[in-house]
Structure 1
Amino acid sequence: MAEPRTEAERAAPHVDETALAESVRFTSDLIRMDTTNRGGGEGAERPAAEYVAGLLAEAGLDPLILEKAPGRANVVARIAGREPGADALLVHGHLDVVPAEPAEWTVHPFSGEVRDGVVWGRGAVDMKNSDAMVLAVVRAWARAGVRPRRDIVLAFTADEEDTAEFGSGFLVAQRPDLFEGCTEAIGESGAFTFHPGDGRRLYPVAAGERGTAWLTLTARGRAGHGSKINPDNAVTRLAAAVTRIGEHSWPVRLSPVVRAGLTELAALYGVPLPDLGAEPAQAPGEARAPADPQDWEREEREKREEREKLSRAVDGLLAALGPAASLLAPTVRNSANPTMLSAGYKVNVIPGGATGHVDGRVVPGGEEEFTATLDRLTGPEVDWSFLHHEIPLQAPVDGRTFGVLRDALLRFDPGAHVVPYCMSGGTDAKQFSRLGLAGYGFMPLRLPEGFDYQAMFHGVDERVPVEALHFGTRVLDHALRGL
């Protein structure tokens, strides 16, 4: 078939029944390939990578399989656009999944079973379904002779569920040439239906991510007999620091993306938008003290009051928005949750050291506040360091790209509402941002009322409706050609 020549022809959908069926079949096939990532370098994405590469080759592309270590395979291919001088677009998805215990599941997590209009298995939403939809769209284009406006680079990665060392991190460090010309990226996780319970359908499109700050805490003390009084007990010092971290109330710090999301939700629900103000540039304690101690104390007090006022305003707005607020509530603040503790080897021996781990997440613009606060909460007797550290991200929500993504969703669900949001966790977009790419979470799914999409991530009985895959395939086709 000849390539469409007019704008009307190019805007017409090119997803056929074959593509819709393939989105389901590819999801099921990929789920059946056990690509469990257990961390620490233990994983095997190669079978899925070979499967993906074969499907791309059938579509006339020239995919590359790249590995940092045996079995940890990535696939990269480029689709040539109609405008050679245009900026390129990256579309990425990961092939690995988190572990699943078969005894806990209704169906085997690696069966890929299609039952009652639903595809079951680990990766059904995170994110082999998205990989499958992208593959179905690309193959539909090949059958119809369609070329996108600009080059599209496809990347199917390993190791996203751990540190990305064998996946996007490896690709960015070792093969940046494969992403030449790319300025924007589309990946997980956004554009799914969120039902707030009032009949509305919301589609959150991600234009930001909180940063990752996994921490190791180390307390040192004096080892000794458990029967002796010991004021230099490392366990006590660690426990005190962990308690302070766990009980700390972080102040509100709004990124532009979250601020835009709050504004849109307030307008949608007819809730008066409080004065969110110009957020203080620095958190209390971050500024250099003025020469006059009284001036310093006054400035610090004023900053605290401003931040407390902002926190009360945002918390009140979130309460007024009801269930819809859950889209944005996790990303209005930094967070730090203690998750692991380790100390000692015998009940009557006081150990000389104790360690703990904290899962910290940092909003865009909140890095200095996070480190200053951790220094204060851990105190002089406990050291902390980054176990894994990734930057927060944000992308424009007032430009052409977000508008195209919004319009694509509304074309196929006209009664819905699209809202920008910031992801509380992180994705491969963090790695690709090192190449200067602005990342958006956009892997669309229209989900029925009562389908708890967020609970499916890393949960038991992960599954996705067939109709959601059909919807997502249609929307992706339209969006990617429009971008």
Structure 2
Amino acid sequence: MLALGGLVALASGPAMAAELRPDQIAFRDIYRELVETDTSAPTGSCTVAAGRMLDRLRKAGFGPDRAEVFVPQGHEKDGGLIARIEGSDPRAAPMLLVDHIDVVAARREDWPRDPFRLTEEKGYFIGRGVIDDKALSAIWVDSLIRMQAAGFRPRRTIKVALTCGEESSDAVNGVDWLLRNRRDAVQAGFALNEGGYGISDKDGQPIALYLAVGEKYAQSFTIEARNSGGHSSRPRPDNAIYDLADALEAVRRLSFPIRLNPTNRGYFSRMGPIVGGAMGQAMERLGQGQDDAATVATVTGDVTYNAMLRTTCVATQVEAGHAENALPQRAQATIQCRLFPGDRVEDVEAKLRLALPSGIDLTRKGDKGAPAVPPPLDPRIMGPAEKLAQRHFPGIPVVPNLLTAGTDGRYLSAAGIPTYGVPGIVLDPDGNGAHGVDERIRVKSVYDGRDYLYALIRAYAEGH
């Protein structure tokens, strides 16, 4: 029934659907099946999605020794898929294609259409996960099937891991689990992951391709003020809410030093001419290592550029008081810090403690393991990406980019596997509604990105 629905949608879709190549039609059906399999934590199952992708690999000739579903004990819905194509040169380190198949929850009553049905409308694919991140997962599976059909024998072994738990922090994380329990399935010389993307103008024309080289590490803290409280008819100067407000003001004033590394210097050098104007000139200067106060002030005036240059801490949640007619006995806030690669949690915590007023408690929330280790800006990674970009996206530069958010790549990089977010799929300036209602991506962007990434995989698989 699902397959029939996909065929009907294809036949009744836009004119572009009728012009698809046979290989694109096959890919679209993989993509459709992934999107139409609910993998959100509240109502879905990654294990079901992984099983459906395994079925496709089995039909393509991947036996149990080359593809399987794994399910962490006690997490029956949080399974994933591991697969491989053996390389011809045992001296060449394997490469890993990794991606998460879980998605953010989507309630039917919030959407004008079924979020777990792949819709094609006005040049866009629409549905939960179409961009975050099932397009890339479908490309990884599709690439294995295409290489198998072509009889391609890579020089280095190509491994694939589709995992769960990236979006749902309460569940087990599939990448972390594999590293702890099935290290052989993901051990590699380098990994390709989500996090890279293309940026476009308002008309969808590509401007640059971002290749993610490193990411920041998220660590949350709780700050709390306490008081004996009392009746609201007898207010006092010592008030837990006022004390928390003073602490929050201290956090707002807190600033960490900027850090320049090869990735953000490369970003500012290459993006400066594209941005242009006073900002573009300042970006170019910063990319050249000129970190004078005026240059830094100009660039960090943009919140995104500021986040790419330093550790940041910001208040994200507040909870206070226990009754509207009582003085508060407790007031607390969550502070989330995003650590620049190389900064230590202990040092950030110490700086927070020093900034906070006396009497405010500070507690670190959870243990997310070791911070991500930034991978090198390796010409063996950048070179093929740039060469193929000129074939698939003529005139569009590949730009190294430091992710200010986080991915599962932090587990791999901390384990000694350099991990890069590959570009190819070009996003709209508004972010395409990822995590929101009517998440969408241009149809052309998906097909163009697929072609680029397939060529890139083969180039890396054959490279030295």
Same fold by TM-score greater than 0.5: yes
Match of 2:80, SS state, is: strand
Work out the CA distance in 2 between the residues paired with 1:327 and 1:228.
46
Q: Is 1:469 aligned to 2:451, yes or no?
A: no
Work out the CA distance in 2 between the residues paired with 1:86 and 1:59.
25
Q: Percent identity?
A: 27
Q: Is 1:387 aligned to 2:355, yes or no?
A: no
Pairing partner for 2:281 from 258, 266, 271: 271
Distance 1:427 1:202, change over 3 A: same
Work out the CA distance in 2 between the residues paired with 1:275 and 1:171.
40
Shift of 1:251: 4.0
Match of 1:192, SS state, is: strand
Pairing partner for 1:430 from 405, 410, 416: 410
Q: Is 1:239 aligned to 2:216, yes or no?
A: no
Whether contact under 8 Å (1:91, 1:154) holds in the other structure is yes
Work out the CA distance in 2 between the residues paired with 1:170 and 1:435.
12
Whether contact under 8 Å (2:300, 2:306) holds in the other structure is yes
Work out the CA distance in 2 between the residues paired with 1:222 and 1:460.
44
Whether contact under 8 Å (2:373, 2:414) holds in the other structure is no
Find the counterpart in structure 1 of residue 223 from structure 2.
Answer: 217
Shift of 1:392: 4.1
Whether contact under 8 Å (2:260, 2:289) holds in the other structure is no
Whether contact under 8 Å (1:274, 1:317) holds in the other structure is no
Which one-letter code corresponds to 1:264 in the other structure?
R
Pairing partner for 1:162 from 156, 165, 168: 168
Work out the CA distance in 1 between the residues paired with 2:103 and 2:121.
21
Find the counterpart in structure 1 of residue 24 from structure 2.
Answer: 20
CA RMSD of aligned residues (A): 2.8
Work out the CA distance in 2 between the residues paired with 1:274 and 1:197.
30
Shift of 1:260: 1.5
Pairing partner for 1:478 from 441, 452, 455: 455
Find the counterpart in structure 1 of residue 48 from structure 2.
Answer: 47
Find the counterpart in structure 2 of residue 173 from structure 1.
Answer: 180
Distance 1:271 1:342, change over 3 A: closer
Equivalent residues in 2 for 1:160-309 (5 A)? 160-163=166-169, 165-180=172-187, 182-195=188-201, 201-266=207-272, 271=281, 273-274=284-285
Shift of 1:229: 4.2
TM-score of the pair, normalised by structure 2: 0.83
Shift of 1:460: 2.2
Work out the CA distance in 2 between the residues paired with 1:418 and 1:76.
29
Q: Is 1:142 aligned to 2:148, yes or no?
A: yes
Q: Bigger CA drift: 346-355 or 429-438?
A: 346-355
Find the counterpart in structure 2 of residue 85 from structure 1.
Answer: 91
Which one-letter code corresponds to 1:34 in the other structure?
D
Work out the CA distance in 1 between the residues paired with 2:124 and 2:166.
25
Distance 1:23 1:314, change over 3 A: farther
Give 5+ residue unaligned stretches, structure 2: 1-19
Whether contact under 8 Å (2:127, 2:438) holds in the other structure is yes
Whether contact under 8 Å (2:225, 2:361) holds in the other structure is yes
Distance 1:327 1:399, change over 3 A: farther
Listed one character per residue, the Cα deviations across residues 50-79 of structure 1 (whole Å, up to 9, x for unaligned) are 112212222323322222212111111122
Which one-letter code corresponds to 1:457 in the other structure?
A
Listed one character per residue, the Cα deviations across residues 169-208 of structure 1 (whole Å, up to 9, x for unaligned) are 222222223223x121101121323338997721111101
Work out the CA distance in 2 between the residues paired with 1:214 and 1:418.
33
Find the counterpart in structure 1 of residue 77 from structure 2.
Answer: 71
Whether contact under 8 Å (2:374, 2:413) holds in the other structure is no
Match of 2:189, SS state, is: strand
Work out the CA distance in 1 between the residues paired with 2:439 and 2:26.
20
Work out the CA distance in 2 between the residues paired with 1:162 and 1:102.
19
Which one-letter code corresponds to 1:223 in the other structure?
G
Pairing partner for 2:376 from 360, 372, 396: 396
Find the counterpart in structure 2 of residue 108 from structure 1.
Answer: 114
Shift of 1:90: 1.0
Pairing partner for 2:294 from 309, 312, 319: 312
How many residues matched? Answer: 427
Give 5+ residue unaligned stretches, structure 1: 1-15, 280-308, 320-324
Distance 1:116 1:78, change over 3 A: same
Shift of 1:454: 2.2
Find the counterpart in structure 1 of residue 394 from structure 2.
Answer: 414
Find the counterpart in structure 2 of residue 339 from structure 1.
Answer: 316
Find the counterpart in structure 1 of residue 354 from structure 2.
Answer: 376
Work out the CA distance in 2 between the residues paired with 1:454 and 1:53.
31
Distance 1:350 1:476, change over 3 A: same
Distance 1:165 1:254, change over 3 A: farther
Listed one character per residue, the Cα deviations across residues 5-51 of structure 1 (whole Å, up to 9, x for unaligned) are xxxxxxxxxxx93332233222222111111135xxx8631221111
Find the counterpart in structure 2 of residue 32 from structure 1.
Answer: 36
Find the counterpart in structure 2 of residue 360 from structure 1.
Answer: 337
